[in-house]
Chains A and B, each alone.
Chain A
Amino acid sequence: MERKLYTDSFERMLKEKSDEFRMYPSKNTWHSLYNNLYPGKRWPSNVMSLFCLSVLLVVGYLNNSGISIKQMNNKGNSSNQSFAIHTSNSVPSTTLNFSDADNKNLVSNNVSYNHVDTKQTENGLISLTHFSQKSTTVASEDITINDHDLIQLVTDKTDIVPKDDNTAKNNVASEKQLKNSEKRNEFLQNENILRAYTIGSVQAKRWTDKLTLQVYASPSIVYGSLSSGKTSFASGDDANNQFNENPSLGLEAGTAMQYALSGFLKLKAGVQFNYASYNLEAYQNDHPAMASLISTDPTTGSAYNITSRASLYSMNDGNLPVTLHNETYQLSLPVGLELKLLKNHNLQWNAGATIQPTFIAGGNAYMLSSDNRNYVDASSALNRWNLNAGFETFITYKVNGLVWQLGPQIRYQFLSIYGKGYTGVDERLANYGVKIGISKAIH
């Protein structure tokens, strides 16, 4: 009977103690389970794919927008009139295409310039030596211009109109054709149309000329800066003084569009991926200890909740020294300015700064408990949104239309990596890296 009683109580003890026992699974377990349950809704792979696709589409569109507009205009108007400029030297011939646009003046004038022969003079300007006019009605309202420099010359009235008699004498054929003063006057009257077109087109061309596509990458070293938050169980020194935190590697990669505001200032915006990690030196114990985290009560917003978590990792004492690896994957939209400081031929020295709204796509984080004794797995406490600032200075070198850049950069995080609810610990990351980039003007 005694044995029976003992047996019963022993088994009861086993059952009670076993039932009391709880373990908290890592967040990855739920993610993995979710992916198993919903293989079609995997996250963040779907979001990332969509994001990458969008970036590719935007970059592709920006790269080809000039060509596509011209192609569309050509397709849309079969009666386009060609305005050709032929040069006697090796300068490639240029064609002005009249197509759909907004300039009503041209429609009202109903005049087109079909053929203009030019010859390059010694001083580099192109003088008009021959023109002929057709009675073709201009049905289109725009000009697409391929050779920017030539058109600038054509827009100058003095270049188009052969005021200089010597020029006419040099070319007998052109002199004969210029005898018709009415036609000449008509040409002069309508020259303002050409000016209007060319100015508008040149402005459009300049806008696209100011765009540059940049791709860059930057290996970096990441430092964590820890401080105790507003509330902590620990007394005495700041946590950073007791805390054994080591820098680790980070990586940044991104693409940006730059727009030249002036000769020395560029506005830039883009998308950027960052991987940031740092290490914590800790001790692993055989048995988990209960660690407390102070957090803001989500219902009241002011009172504090104390959450208990099991932790195997201690800051100062334990059986086995281990290194805990904290890491985050971040997506940012950097927006900023770039300033040209010095220029010498192909070499240039620049400085830049960006502000980077950042989304933390994922990561792994061990947080210091509120008594500054244990490290607690706090991946779920990661702040999903953050704000970073980047500062850089770099040397660029232009070769074969590509601009290579190299220089140091600093990236600093403004908000704690942990959510606002966790007030016990405040940790921010700083990256020190070397940025390598390549840029190309978009035509």
Chain B
Amino acid sequence: MTEELMLAGCLKNNASSQEALYHRFSPRMLGVCYRFAKNREDAEDMLQEGFIKVFSQIHQYRNEGALEGWVRRIVVHTCINILKKNKKFSDSVDISFANSMPATEENIPSIVQAKQVVECIRMLPIGYRTVLNLYAIEGFSHREISEMLDIEESTSRSQYTRAKTMLEDILIKKKILVTPRHSLAYAAMTASK
């Protein structure tokens, strides 16, 4: 089913078109939710709520930009709203925590893949993780993030800097990233290509 047909069907509340749209985008969107969520179950709840909003607001889609981007934006906002509702941002950690992150040999994955990078991101404290997800991956500005999360813009910047440093350390300990301070190369990129 083409995207146009799916869209037209969804505008008419056609269940099979909605299912087709869901099946097309849900794997990637669940990946997005998983980066924000505590576990898979929470991620699936976020996904479900996100798609309910997608289908209820589909008439607002103006065909400006890719449908996937529009769906993704709604899903991300849904994730943020759920996290805010559950007051997940209350817990934040000091940067020193990053150095004490356990990275034992048995936790190191044998094959470098996208999943490993995502799992490393998920090891960050929720506040750091959310800012990093929104800024580095979803492409929001610090000003937008501050509005979304009801925090200061400066807080968003500092959280991001700390999150990035912490993630670097985790990736190095996991042997996914090699000599980050002096080289542009990282194992993950080369391994995947």
Chain A residues near B (Cβ < 8 Å): 5-7, 9-11, 13-26, 29-30, 32-34, 36-38, 286-288, 319
Contact = CB atoms under 8 A, between A and B. Distances in A.
B117 A6 contact: no
Contact of B114 (A5, A11, A18, A26): A18
Interface in B147-193: 164, 167-168, 180-181, 184, 186, 188-189, 192
Classify the interface of chain A: helix, strand, loop or mixed: helix
B156 to A, nearest CB: 15
Given A9-B184, A11-B136, A26 B22 contact: no
Interface in B106-152: 106-107, 109, 114-119, 121, 132-133, 136-137, 139
Given A29-B26, A29-B44, 7 more contacts: A6-B180, A13-B189, A21-B114, A23-B27, A33-B52, A34-B15, A319-B106
A141 B18 CA distance: 62
Nearest to A17: B117
Contacts of B121: 14, 18
Contacts of A34: 15, 19
B70 interface: no
Contacts of B44: 25-26, 29
A33 B28 contact: no
A7 B23 CA distance: 35
Nearest to B107: A286
Given A11-B136, A23-B43, A30 B22 contact: yes
A286 B55 CA distance: 33
Contacts of B22: 30, 33
Interface stretch (B29-37, B59-67, B77-85, B89-97): B29-37
A20 B31 CA distance: 9
Nearest to A5: B184
A19 B52 CA distance: 22
21 contacts: A9-B184, A13-B186, A16-B189, A20-B114, A21-B31, A21-B34, A21-B115, A23-B34, A24-B27, A25-B26, A26-B44, A29-B44, A30-B19, A32-B48, A33-B48, A34-B19, A36-B52, A37-B52, A37-B55, A287-B115, A287-B116
A67 to B, nearest CB: 45
Interface of B: 15, 18-19, 22-23, 26-28, 30-32, 34-35, 40, 43-44, 47-48, 51-52, 55, 106-107, 109, 114-119, 121, 132-133, 136-137, 139, 164, 167-168, 180-181, 184, 186, 188-189, 192
Contacts of B114: 17-18, 20-21
Contacts of B167: 14
B18 A37 contact: yes
B30 A6 contact: no
Contacts of A37: 15, 18, 52, 55
Given A30-B22, A37-B52, A38-B15, A18 B31 contact: yes
A305 to B, nearest CB: 16
Contacts of A319: 106
Contacts of A286: 107, 109, 119
Contacts of A6: 180-181, 184
A10 B184 CA distance: 8
Given A6-B184, A287-B109, A22 B52 contact: no
B12 to A, nearest CB: 13
B72 to A, nearest CB: 10
Contacts of B32: 18
Contact of A22 (B30, B55, B117, B139): B30
Nearest to A18: B137
A25 B19 CA distance: 13
Nearest to B54: A33
A16 B191 CA distance: 13
A14 B136 contact: yes
A221 B133 CA distance: 49
Nearest to B18: A37
A14 B184 contact: no
A5 B159 CA distance: 21
B31 A14 contact: no
Contacts of B106: 319
Given A29-B44, A287-B116, A22 B27 contact: yes
Nearest to A24: B27
Nearest to A7: B164
Contacts of B48: 29, 32-33, 36
Given A30-B19, A37-B52, A287-B115, A23 B184 contact: no
Contacts of A16: 189
A286 B108 CA distance: 10
A349 B44 CA distance: 54
B187 to A, nearest CB: 10
